[in-house]
Amino acid sequence: MSDPVGHQGPAASGPASAAGHAGRPENVEYRVAHLHDRLAAEELGELGVRAEIRAGAIALTGTVPSAQCRESVLRIAREELAGLTVHTDIVVADTTRPDHAEEL
Amino acid sequence: MIRVAAVGDIHMGPDSEGLLRPAFETLPDCADLLLLAGDLTRHGSPEETRVVAREVRGLPVPVVAVLGNHDHHDEQPEKVTAILREAGVTVLEGEATVVECAGGRVGIAGTKGFGGGFVGRNAGEFGEPVMKEFVRTTRRSADSLHAALKELEEEGCAARVALTHFSPVADTLAGEPPEIHPFLGSYLLAEAIDTAGADLAVHGHAHLGTEHGMTAGGVRVRNVAQPVIRRAFSVYRLGSA
DSSP chain B: -EEEEEEB---B-GGGTTSSHHHHTTHHHH-SEEEEES--BSS--HHHHHHHHHHHTT-SS-EEEE--SGGGTTS-HHHHHHHHHHTT-EE-SSEEEEEEETTEEEEEEEE-----B-TTS---S-SSHHHHHHHHHHHHHHHHHHHHHHHHHTTT-SEEEEEESSBS-SGGGBTB-GGGGGGTBBHHHHHHHHHH--SEEEE---TTS-SEEE-TT--EEEE-BHHHH-SS-EEEEET--
Inter-chain touch B12–A63, beta carbons under 8 Å: no
Is A103 within the bounds of a domain? no
pLDDT digits (tens, 9 = 90+) for B130-169: 999 999 999 999 999 999 999 999 999 999 999 999 999 9
Q: Does B210 touch chain A (CB under 8 A)?
A: no
pLDDT digits (tens, 9 = 90+) for B19-66: 999 999 999 999 999 999 999 999 999 999 999 999 999 999 999 999
**Domains of chain B and any CATH numbers:** 2-238 (3.60.21.10)
ipTM for the whole complex: 0.91
Mean of the per-residue pLDDT values for chain B? 97
- Examine the pLDDT at A13 and tell me if it is beyond 60: no
Is A1 within the bounds of a domain? no
Please give the residue range of the domain that contains residue A33. 10-19+27-92
pTM, two decimal places: 0.91
Residues of B in contact with A44 (CB under 8 A): 42
The total number of structural domains in chain A stands at 1
Mutate to test the interface with A, among B207, B215, B237 (most CBs of A within 10 A): B207
Residues of B in contact with A71 (CB under 8 A): none
pLDDT on residue B103: 87
Q: Does B232 touch chain A (CB under 8 A)?
A: yes
CATH number at residue A80: 3.30.1340.30
Is A54 within the bounds of a domain? yes
Q: Does B52 touch chain A (CB under 8 A)?
A: no
Q: How far is A21 from chain B (nearest CA, A)?
A: 35
Is A100 within the bounds of a domain? no
